[in-house]
Amino acid sequence: MNFTDNAVDTARKHYGASVIQAFCGDVKVFIAEDISDKKDLGAVCSLANKRKDLKFIFIPYEIYEEKLNEIIASIDGKCLLCSECTETTCFDGVQVLVIDFLGSSPWVYEYCACAYLGGLKPSMHKVKELAARDIPVALRSGTYAKGACAEFVNSEKCKIVHSGSGLFKWLAVLERDAAPEDRPSKTRRGSFKYNMAVFGVKMLSCIPFRAIYVLSDCVCPVFYHLVRYRRGIVHRNITEAFPEKGPAEIRKMERNFYRFFTDMALECCKLATMSEESIRRHMVFRNTETVNSLLGQGKSVAIYLGHYGNWEWVSSLPLWLDKGAASAQIYHKLSNGDMNELMMRIRERMGAVCVDMHKTARYVARQNAGNKVCAIGFIADQAPRMRDAHHYLDFLNHDVPVLTGTEKIIKHYGFEAFYLDVRKIRRGYYEAVFVKLHDEPRMLPDFELTDLYFMHLEQTIRRQPELYLWSHKRFRNARGKNKDASTGILTN
């Protein structure tokens, strides 16, 4: 490597303009600049290894052979040095380009989607250039800045991250925010009510699991006997779903449901601060190798699940999947804006992106247009509006209309279809098994894939009925009331 003593000439020199242009093409890349020590290197290399679908440009703070070798050794994908490339180099499959000579870095920002600035004192001219181009920037914890730098560091465009995991989550949020139609119309993170809700949830999340379940045992009788939270709806749903059960069995199922319901509410609070190691112990996914194999082949996956077990903990699924695939979960926006924002914050902690159910088709189309492999979870057991009721089926002793949009997406975009079979192992521990619904979903007649999903879901519910969400009006649009226990025929 040749170093120049002429600072002016160095500042005017562009970083291999033709090489970078050939590497980036028409794609905006992630630029990691001023990589100064092991903390910076660990964060950006961890991100690159998790997000193999992105391209990266690394610009070390110091350029010497040992540092360059350390960067190359830390990257799982293909990595090239800029000095070894020309504009005719084939960059197919190259994930990281390392700038290994001095030059003018602001020019590179023309190809930058977002950036990471290493070191503890960011360069003023780099900060100003990034701010002028409106580029989101991540900085390491402990960054010191003053004046204009401090103003930018404290702005919404800047984020302090503590690790590679934090950098990964920040990028996932950026990608979600890049499509404003997928976000709530108004953020609540500055409101007093929202901040108090966050404080309350985090206080509860700090309670150990054993104490959480002691608290649940105290709260459950209050909900069941005093507050009588939706007792009438729960009783009617369970009675109609299991007409063969006697009154004593129905009451037992109700009590078991409320016990689980309070458990799950407090477990959801725990998710606000649980570590990745802890959630992996408490929520275990099986047969992920099949899903990862399909994702590795460039096939996107749709995952059917229901309001069963601790479905909130299913948001930890990205920890088990190929890091190169985008993970998303379709959600129904809550009417309370503060609670909606809080729940989204909790659900996205482990790397999944929340997508408003009304924007599902748009999100999937955007992923498909960008040739991005994704795994998307659909809780598809909700009751559709009557004008959207295109298909009825027999589910839990009711002839009910069901959502069919998931099946349409799977067939239109050629997704692989799985059902997530959840079971409770013991208090606070769950297991979820991926069950492939069909090898060729597109070959199935209309609505047969939906029928398969509800068949599996009913089998799961009958195995451990207390784990289903009986407190909502699932059967309000059912045709007929319930079946005769002896004949199994629906009656009006």
**Cα–Cα dist 302/328, whole Å:** 10
Nearest in space to 309 (alpha carbons), one of 431, 476, 138: 431
Tokens found for residue 276: 């990745």
Please check whether residue 161 is in contact with residue 167, taking contact to mean a CB–CB distance below 8 angstroms: yes
* pLDDT at 10 (0 to 100): 40
**Cα–Cα dist 261/471, whole Å:** 9
Give 305-370 as a DSSP string.
E-SBSSGGGGGGGGGTS-TTSEEEEEEPPPSSHHHHHHHHHHHTTTS-EEEEGGGHHHHHHHHHHT
Find tokens 């649009």 and name the residue: 477
Bridge partners, residue 422, by sequence: 432
Find tokens 């890091």 and name the residue: 323
Find tokens 């900060």 and name the residue: 127
Tell me how far CA of residue 254 lies from CA of 167, 230, 234, 307, in angstroms: 44, 11, 7, 16
Nearest in space to 322 (alpha carbons), one of 362, 268, 359, 285: 285
3-state helix/strand/coil string of 89-152: CCCCCEEEEECCCCCECHHHHHHEEEEEECCCCCCHHHHHHHHHCCCCEEEECCCCCCCHHHHH
Digits of tens for pLDDT over the chain (492 positions)?
444 444 344 434 444 577 888 888 777 889 888 887 888 888 889 888 888 888 899 988 888 888 888 888 888 888 988 888 887 888 888 899 998 876 655 567 778 888 888 876 666 667 777 777 778 888 877 666 555 556 655 666 678 887 778 888 888 777 766 554 444 444 445 567 778 888 888 899 899 999 999 999 999 999 899 999 999 999 999 999 999 999 999 999 999 999 999 999 999 999 999 999 999 999 999 999 999 999 999 999 999 999 999 999 999 999 999 888 889 999 888 878 788 888 888 998 898 899 988 888 888 988 888 788 999 999 999 888 887 788 999 999 999 999 999 999 999 999 999 999 999 999 999 999 999 999 999 999 999 999 999 999 999 999 999 999 999 988 988 987 544 544 444 444
* pLDDT at 1 (0 to 100): 42
* pLDDT at 177 (0 to 100): 61
What CA dihedral angle connects 80, 82, 83 and 89, to 10 degrees?
A: 70
**Cα–Cα dist 462/93, whole Å:** 48
Nearest in space to 314 (alpha carbons), one of 262, 288, 278, 350: 350
Helix or strand holding residue 55 (H, E):
none
Tell me how far CA of residue 171 lies from CA of 113, 122, 395, in angstroms: 10, 20, 40
Q: How many residues does the chain have?
A: 492
Please check whether residue 36 is in contact with residue 118, taking contact to mean a CB–CB distance below 8 angstroms: yes
Give 372-392 as a DSSP string.
--EEEEEE--SPPPGGG---E
Find tokens 């226990």 and name the residue: 485
Tell me how far CA of residue 12 lies from CA of 81, 108, 457, in angstroms: 21, 13, 64
Q: In one letter, which amino acid is 195?
A: N
**Cα–Cα dist 227/249, whole Å:** 22
